[in-house]
Amino acid sequence: MIKDEQMVFRVPSDLKAEFQQAANAIERPASQVLREFMRTFISRVNQEQPRGTDSTTIQRQDAINFGRASVALEGMTVSPEAEALQQRFVGGEISIEECIAAIKLGHQVASRD
> For the chain, which residues make up each domain, given as ranges?
12-48, 54-113
Contact 110, 85 (CB under 8 A): no
CA distance 66 to 72: 10
Statement: the pTM of the whole predicted model exceeds 0.85 = no
- The CB-side HSE value for 52 (13 A sphere, CA atoms) comes to 0
pLDDT at 19: 92
Mean pLDDT of 76-88: 86
The answer as to CATH 1.20.120 being correct for domain 54-113 is no
Give the confidence band of 44 by pLDDT, cuts at 50, 70, 90: confident
Give the confidence band of 12 by pLDDT, cuts at 50, 70, 90: very high
pLDDT at 17: 94
